[in-house]
């Protein structure tokens, strides 16, 4: 039968510690997919452009202090405020590459000592990624890469705890990419995974919801 339904885009999430190379790889992936003619956008969380995002940005740069639960909920709200646009983009055929998502939300807040299930709760009902690519690097190795800036969380001891929570969160569906490899190597591995996923979405893979 004839179908007028446009193939949907894929929701691709990159996760990893600070300095794991996510932002560089996201940019490379964006031009790769666009070059192949796949309509693609690069998003990132926190999205510091919105008013919630500005509160988050002030917190991260130590210009404001917030209770740990409060900032957790702001990070989540920052995803919720983009949820309907995200669904619209995907359903109209745009692939989204997302630099950090709910897994950052849960891993970073849990690493501060908040209960992991409490951290997951406000993420329930957000769109589930089609692929999570985890850029795997040791906290020590990441810290060697040009060092951290001076935002909150950019300390090696804290990043170690975050890495442990990422490990707890990850399941067999995650694609673990060795981020210590040469940049071109990492780039190629990501391209393979993502092309497969884009194809599955084109062939009718349904969208699903977190937390599953």
Site of interaction with ligand FDM (CB under 6 A): 18, 45-46, 60, 75, 100, 104-105, 108, 153
Number of residues that bind Mg ion (CB under 5 A): 1
The vertex-17 CA angle with 125 and 167, nearest 5°, equals 65
Q: Which residue is nearest to Mg ion (CB)?
A: 18
Least Å from the CB of residue 21 to Mg ion = 12
CB of 82 to ligand FDM, least distance (A): 11
We find the least distance from the C-beta atom of residue 152 to ligand FDM, in angstroms, to be 7
Q: Which of residues 14-43 bind Mg ion (CB under 5 A)?
A: 18
**What's the closest the beta carbon of residue 189 comes to ligand FDM, in angstroms?**
21
Nearer to ligand FDM, 104 or 197 (CB): 104
The entry of ligand FDM, Mg ion, none that residue 211 binds, CB within 5 to 8 Å by partner kind: none
* Shorter beta-carbon distance to ligand FDM: residue 102 or 131: 102
Closer to Mg ion by CB, 26 or 33: give it: 26
Q: Which is nearer to ligand FDM, 102 or 197 (CB)?
A: 102
Q: How far apart are CA 16 and CA 55, in angstroms?
A: 23
CB 146 within 8 A of CB 188: no
- Per-residue exposure over 70-108, b if at least 16 CB sit within 10 Å of its own CB, e if not: ebbbbbbbbbeebeeebeebbeeebbbbbbbbbbbbbbb
Token pair recorded at residue 70:
């409060």
- For residue 111, the minimal CB distance to ligand FDM (Å) is 9
By a kind-dependent CB cut-off of 5 to 8 A, residue 95 interacts, out of Mg ion, ligand FDM, none, with none
Q: Which is closer to ligand FDM, CB of 108 or CB of 166?
A: 108
Write out the residues near Mg ion by the rule CB under 5 A: 18
């Amino acid at each position: 039968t004839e179908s007028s339904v446009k193939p949907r885009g894929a929701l691709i999430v990159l996760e990893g510690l600070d300095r794991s190379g996510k932002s560089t790889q996201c940019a490379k992936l964006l031009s790769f997919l666009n070059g192949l003619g796949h309509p693609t956008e690069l998003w990132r969380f926190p999205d510091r452009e919105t008013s919630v995002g500005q509160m988050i940005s002030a917190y991260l740069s130590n210009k404001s202090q917030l209770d740990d639960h409060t900032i957790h909920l702001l990070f989540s709200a920052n995803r919720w405020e983009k949820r309907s646009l995200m669904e619209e983009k995907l359903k109209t055929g745009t692939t989204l590459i997302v630099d950090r998502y709910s897994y950052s939300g849960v891993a970073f807040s849990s690493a501060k000592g908040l209960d992991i299930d409490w951290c997951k709760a406000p993420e329930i009902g957000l769109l589930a990624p089609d692929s999570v690519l985890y850029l795997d690097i040791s906290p020590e190795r990441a810290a060697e890469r040009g060092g951290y800036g001076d935002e909150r969380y950019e300390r090696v001891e804290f990043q170690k705890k975050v890495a442990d929570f990422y490990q707890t969160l990850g399941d067999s569906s995650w694609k673990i990419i060795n981020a210590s490899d040469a940049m071109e190597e990492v780039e190629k591995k990501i391209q393979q995974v993502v092309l497969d996923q884009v194809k599955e979405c084109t062939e009718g893979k349904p969208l699903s919801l977190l937390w599953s």
